[in-house]
Amino acid sequence: MSSIQDLTDLLESSRNAAAFTGAGVSTLSGIRDFRGDSGIYQDVDPRRMFDLSAFISDPGYYYSRAKDFIYTLHEKQPSLVHRVLAQMEQRGLLPQGVITQNIDLLHAKAGSRRVVELHGTPSVHRCLDCDAEQSYESVLPEASQGEIPRCRACGGVMKPDIVFFGEMLPEDETAIAFRIAASADLLLVLGSSLVVQPASSIPITTLDNGGKIVIVNRTPTPLDDYAVLRFSDLQQVFEALAQYFG
């Protein structure tokens, strides 16, 4: 069985650690994940909500559902996990920072400086017709009501810069994420079901380059057998880390 002492020993002996986070680190901030016990899959199909061609033909479907999930993100606060990861980076225990699949901006809000957002961000919205940009705040009046925000320049539909199913991952962030994963001697894999590709190849890249992975996730993942340590409860693990490194 994995122990916290083993984890702190690993962290202290590593030179180039990074974290790879998924929606599970934000359930503690009151943001639902996709596939966890109370995940969004219970009542909405994210494959339709976040599908590019579905969005182009019917953006109202996304906005009518995203009002409760995306356009309340400014009210959410970082959890213990976000805060401890930021502290670990500041203390030099996580020099490569965080690669995240999340789009909730909470790592930056907690004070993490190196954050690679693999699945984009809703802090920017872009017009489907003329590519003009608007901020999260400027689309909020319509989006928080479930209405479609329109481009101020041409009246086109605004789409969040979140990576939808059917879109490529952002090239620069993806390249940086794989570079970090390849050079990490330790990757903490936190709150991800590891079923979304290609993001789940990040931990495999660390393993292929001789690094170790530690997994903290409530439900099983396809990489559990490759982890040197495996825990299930993020709150428990990060309470212990906060005490140890606090």
The pattern of x and - marking residues 192 through 211 that bind ligand CNA according to CB under 6 A reads xx--x---------------
Q: What does each C-alpha distance from 203 to 136, 182, 199 come to in angstroms?
A: 31, 9, 8
Please state, as a whole number, how many other Cβ atoms lie within 10 Å of the Cβ of residue 9: 12
Stretch that binds ligand CNA, among 88-96, 168-176, 181-189, 216-224 (CB under 6 A): 216-224
Subset of 141-180 contacting ligand CNA (CB under 6 A):
none
The mark string for 108-127 relative to ligand CNA (x by CB under 6 A, - otherwise) is -----------x--------
Q: Nearest distance from residue 153's CB to ligand CNA, in Å?
A: 28
* Nearer CB in complex with ligand CNA: 119/125: 119
**56, HSE (Cβ side, Cα atoms, 13 Å):** 8
Give the gyration radius of the chain's Cα atoms: 18
**With binding defined as CB under 6 A, does residue 104 bind ligand CNA?**
yes
Q: Does 51 bind ligand CNA (CB under 6 A)?
A: no
Q: Which stretch binds ligand CNA (CB under 6 A): 55-63, 85-93, 185-193, 203-211?
A: 185-193
Nearer to ligand CNA, 66 or 139 (CB): 66
What residues contact 55, with CB distance under 8 A and at least 6 apart?
A: 61, 62, 159, 164
Q: Which of 3, 21, 62 is nearest to 192 (CA)?
A: 21
Q: C-beta of 31: minimal distance to ligand CNA in Å?
A: 4
The yes-or-no answer on residue 119 being catalytic is: yes
The stretch among 10-18, 86-94, 127-135, 190-198 that binds ligand CNA (CB under 6 A) is 190-198
Binding site for ligand CNA (CB under 6 A): 22-24, 26-28, 31, 33-36, 39, 101-104, 119, 191-193, 196, 216-219, 233-235
